[in-house]
Amino acid sequence: MQKITIINGPNLNLLGRREPEIYGSETFEEFFGSLMGRFNGKAHLSYFQSNSEGKIIDKIQEVGFEEDGIVLNAGAYTHTSVAIADAISAISAPVVEVHISNVHAREAFRHHSHLSPVCAGIIVGCGLKGYELAIQFLLSIGEEVSG
């Protein structure tokens, strides 16, 4: 079974409470429970969240040579972090960048991502559904690789 880790960056531990008009009212823990149910028997999903850039990089390095894919919402570090982009370039697992909100419809500083050029795909503005779409994509490319 393919192994996929979801990594959420800063302030995403506040989902459900944080600006619900932008990010919705569901906590990630609630959502992750239903997500695991949806992929039961199809993928082994893990979840990690940190507000620290270095801890996100440590997790990318830890799973990036072992697992089949990473779904990464790096939050605001998306727009600032060359170090996270370098970590994505360094590993062998494909990474899908996800943003819950449509960053292109928001402030100009959210329009640029250091991560997009080194990711296998990008899903923006689909709400929490974006995580599910990213997993489906990673499973489909994993099947192509393993035949």
Among 110, 121, 133, 137, binds ligand DQA (CB under 6 A): 110
Nearest to 11 by CA among 87, 96, 84, 100: 100
CA gap 84, 47 in Å, rounded: 18
CA gap 68, 141 in Å, rounded: 9
**Residue 101 CB, nearest distance to ligand DQA (Å)?**
3
Angle between helices 28-38 and 129-146 (to 10 degrees): 40
- CB-wise, 44 or 110, nearer to ligand DQA? 110
Part of the chain binding ligand DQA (CB under 6 A), chosen from 28-36, 39-47, 72-80, 85-93: 72-80
- Number of residues located near ligand DQA, criterion CB under 6 A: 10
Among 2, 4, 60, 75, binds ligand DQA (CB under 6 A): 75
Part of the chain binding ligand DQA (CB under 6 A), chosen from 42-50, 63-71, 93-101, 134-142: 93-101
- CB-wise, 22 or 90, nearer to ligand DQA? 22
Residue with tokens 């099947």: 143
CA dihedral (21, 26, 28, 31) in degrees, to 10, reads: -130
Question: Which residues bind to ligand DQA, rule: CB under 6 A?
Answer: 11, 73, 75-76, 78, 99-101, 103, 110
